[in-house]
């Protein structure tokens, strides 16, 4: 969807992957998700659109800041299809194992905290569930309730350009509708984050191991040298 909006002229378009690029924006989104007063016009300055988390979890706040904004509610073939994709990508960042792995790297730890805030402060608080296909169903109902009908399009990318362009008031481009794999991009970022975490912990353990080794070695040498001096 990000690629399609960019082709239509709505670029730059914010995406979950954007959080890997700008830690400062991650802090601002975390504050917003935790209920702190946020200047969303300042936060979204430079962007013409937003897709995916955390933007889709802040629709009421974004609508208050941009009351004339149009909302495209992305549809999947079924709630189960959506959950399979979500559970294999963004949701992985909420796992304790992932958070422990990236803990030594501040900006990666921050991103996992953003995901946790989404789950606890939006999904659980708003929909009453932390995971599963029901999140998709309840999110759709929530968006329908808060967005004026003339500002809302329920859209499956399989429908192609026509309904999207008509809704946004732009001409249909002379290129195929992009079917890029957003999940693949997020997964690639998660894999890179894990590798960085492994490298960071390897370095930390190497330093600690070296310090312990040299500390023990020095203590053994002092003890041995002292013993020899007594013998002499």
User: What pLDDT score does 227 carry?
Assistant: 44
- Name the phi and psi angles at 76, rounded to 5: -110, 170
Say which residues have a Cβ less than 8 Å from residue 59's Cβ, sequence separation at least 6. 71, 143, 146, 147
Query: Residue ranges of the alpha helices (H) in the chain?
Result: 2-7, 23-33, 40-43, 59-65, 79-87, 96-102, 106-118, 134-146, 161-168, 182-231
Q: Looking at the predicted structure, is the pLDDT value of residue 232 above 70? A: no
User: What pLDDT score does 228 carry?
Assistant: 43
Question: Under a CB-based contact definition with an 8 Å cutoff, are residues 114 and 54 in contact?
Answer: yes
- Name the phi and psi angles at 49, rounded to 5: -160, 165
Quick: pLDDT tens for 37-67.
999 999 999 999 999 999 999 999 999 999 9
Domain locations in the chain? 2-203
User: What pLDDT score does 221 carry?
Assistant: 52
Q: Looking at the predicted structure, is the pLDDT value of residue 101 above 60? A: yes
CA 41 from chain center: how many Å?
20
pTM of the model: 0.81
CA 163 from chain center: how many Å?
28
Confidence of residue 1 (pLDDT cuts 50, 70, 90): very high
DSSP letter assigned to residue 125: I
| Superfamily, domain 2-203 | P-loop containing nucleotide triphosphate hydrolases (3.40.50.300)
Q: Is 49 helix (H, G, I), strand (E, B) or coil?
A: strand
């Amino acid at each position: 969807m990000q690629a399609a909006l960019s082709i239509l002229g709505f670029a730059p378009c914010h995406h979950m992957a954007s959080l890997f690029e700008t830690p400062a924006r991650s802090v601002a989104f975390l504050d917003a998700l935790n209920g702190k007063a946020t200047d969303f016009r300042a936060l979204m300055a430079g962007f013409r659109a937003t897709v995916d988390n955390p933007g889709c979890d802040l629709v009421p706040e974004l609508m208050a800041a941009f009351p004339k904004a149009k909302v495209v509610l992305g549809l999947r073939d079924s709630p189960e299809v959506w959950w399979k994709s979500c559970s294999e990508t963004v949701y992985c960042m909420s796992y304790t194992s992932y958070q422990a792995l990236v803990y030594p790297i501040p900006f990666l730890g921050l991103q996992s905290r953003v995901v946790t805030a989404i789950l606890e402060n939006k999904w659980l608080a708003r929909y009453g569930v932390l995971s599963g296909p029901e999140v998709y169903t309840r999110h759709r109902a929530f968006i329908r309730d808060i967005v004026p009908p003339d500002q809302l399009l329920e859209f499956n990318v399989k429908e192609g350009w026509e309904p999207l362009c008509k809704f946004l008031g732009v001409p249909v481009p002379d290129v195929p509708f992009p079917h890029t794999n957003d999940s693949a991009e997020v997964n690639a970022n998660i894999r890179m984050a894990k590798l960085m975490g492994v490298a960071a912990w390897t370095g930390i353990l190497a330093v600690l191991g070296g310090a312990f080794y040299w500390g023990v070695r020095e203590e053994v040498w002092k003890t041995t040298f002292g013993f020899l001096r007594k013998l002499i």
